[in-house]
Amino acid sequence: HLFVSFSPPIAAASIAQVHKAHILDLDGTERVLAIKIMRPGVRERFQRDLQVMRFMARVVHALSPKAERLRPRDVVEILARSVMMEMDFRLEAAAMSELAQNTRDDADFRVPKPDWELTARDVLASEWIEGIRLNDRAAIVAAGHDPKALGLAVIQSFLRQAIRDGFFHADMHPGNLFVDASGTLVAVDFGIMGRLGMMERRFLAEILLGFILRDYKRVAQVHFEAGYVPAHHSVDDFAQAIRAIGEPIHQRKADEISMAKVLTLLFDITALFDMSTRTELVMLQKTMVVVEGVARSLDPQLDMWTGAEPVVRSWIA
């Protein structure tokens, strides 16, 4: 390959810089790629940070045994594993490839293709994306795209990934999301990904559908079936506690109801029933807060629940 041109950094984050490169292949084909390069010394800095976090988690455990319900040490290890995977761009290319395969039939979402031949531990080469970042609503409207349709695509794409596939982009902030010329949502930066097992996927889907249908008994039963709430507690008492979260949201307009906040309140109430933090859901909860914010920035009146229902129903069916 011959690098015809290599731009100054287009984007810079704490661990890497991204450049736009024009590449001439041996057969004369010219391609435009995004080249992501690891900053020097990043791994060492992250290791120091993680050691501090591990120490603080041990301190919290020692000083406040009740805090162990939140499992701070396990949460830190989840973060550590995520960070170490983010430090190897070959694994990011693999995540990009897997997500592309999972979403290949989704009309409103796509993923750039990695260039495996030019990718190594510290360098990631992938298809260059021409598009408008989702945090530039004025440019989106000026280009003739529908912000409301994009907002719906953001929430439905995330839920399809989480519930249908069990593998989701866990860093879906506006800087990592574009709309291309065809109006398709395109994601970049796959260093942070989340996985859910079949039980967690069913758990999430049943909870969302239960709140949509006001079937609080079903939401409670799912917690017990998953083993999240100890069996010595009463399903009916737990359903009553969940009703205290669900009923107020049905008294409000749909665009005022935060799905992420409902899940946060749900996890708060579980403390009364000895439910420990589910580390496998930590990444999901964090991402859902961000995704909801992005979707609502595009369409402030977006009804998250109506948007979620077809994805949830089709998978449960």
Backbone angles phi, psi at 217, to 5 degrees: -60, -40
Give the residue with greater pLDDT, 239 vs 226.
239
Q: DSSP letters of 137-200? A: HHHHHHTT--HHHHHHHHHHHHHIIIIIISEEES---GGGEEE-TTS-EEE---SSEEE--HHH
The predicted-structure confidence for 236-275, as pLDDT tens digits, reads as follows 998 998 898 888 877 776 667 777 777 777 777 776 787 7
Report strand pairing: 30-38 vs 109-110.
Answer: unpaired
Give the residue with greater pLDDT, 106 vs 278.
106
Quick one: average pLDDT of 39-66?
82
Question: Quick one: pLDDT band at residue 46, thresholds 50, 70, 90?
Answer: confident
The predicted-structure confidence for 63-115, as pLDDT tens digits, reads as follows 776 666 667 787 788 777 777 777 889 999 999 999 999 999 999 999 999 99
Residue 291 pLDDT: 92
Question: Quick one: pLDDT band at residue 165, thresholds 50, 70, 90?
Answer: very high
User: Of the segments 149-158, 229-238, 278-287, which one has the largest average pLDDT value?
Assistant: 149-158
- The CA radius of gyration of the chain, in Å to the nearest whole number, is 21
Active-site entry in 49, 106, 115, 171: 171
The reply to whether 115 belongs to the active site is no
Question: Quick one: pLDDT band at residue 289, thresholds 50, 70, 90?
Answer: confident
Give the residue with greater pLDDT, 112 vs 25.
112
Decide if 218 contacts 189 (C-beta within 8 A): no
Decide if 177 contacts 284 (C-beta within 8 A): no
Quick one: average pLDDT of 117-135?
94
Residue 158 pLDDT: 95
- Distance, CA of 213 to chain centre: 25
d(CA 131, CA 20) in angstroms, rounded, equals 14
Residues 6+ apart with CB under 8 A from 21: 3, 5, 6, 7, 32, 33, 34, 35, 125
Residues 6+ apart with CB under 8 A from 258: 292, 304
Q: Does 201 have pLDDT greater than 70?
A: yes
Residue 236 pLDDT: 94
Q: How does the average pLDDT of the chain come out, rounded?
A: 86
Report the percent of the chain where pLDDT is more than 90. Answer: 41
Quick one: average pLDDT of 152-169?
95
In terms of Cα–Cα distance, which of 154, 150, 128 is closest to 139? 150
Residue 263 pLDDT: 75
d(CA 92, CA 171) in angstroms, rounded, equals 13
d(CA 307, CA 296) in angstroms, rounded, equals 12
Quick one: average pLDDT of 224-230?
84
Residue 276 pLDDT: 67
d(CA 157, CA 148) in angstroms, rounded, equals 14
Question: Quick one: pLDDT band at residue 278, thresholds 50, 70, 90?
Answer: low
In terms of Cα–Cα distance, which of 209, 196, 138 is closest to 164? 196
Decide if 131 contacts 175 (C-beta within 8 A): no
Q: Does 316 have pLDDT greater than 60?
A: yes
Q: Does 216 have pLDDT greater than 70?
A: yes
Residue 4 pLDDT: 67
Which phi-psi region, left, alpha or beta, contains residue 121 (left: φ > 0; alpha: ψ -120 to 50)? alpha
Residue 131 pLDDT: 94
Residue 2 pLDDT: 66
Among 110-119, 159-168, 210-219, name the one with the lowest average pLDDT.
210-219
Q: Does 303 have pLDDT greater than 80?
A: yes
Q: Residue 185's beta-bridge partner residues?
A: 109, 179
Residue 255 pLDDT: 66
Q: Does 199 have pLDDT greater than 90?
A: no
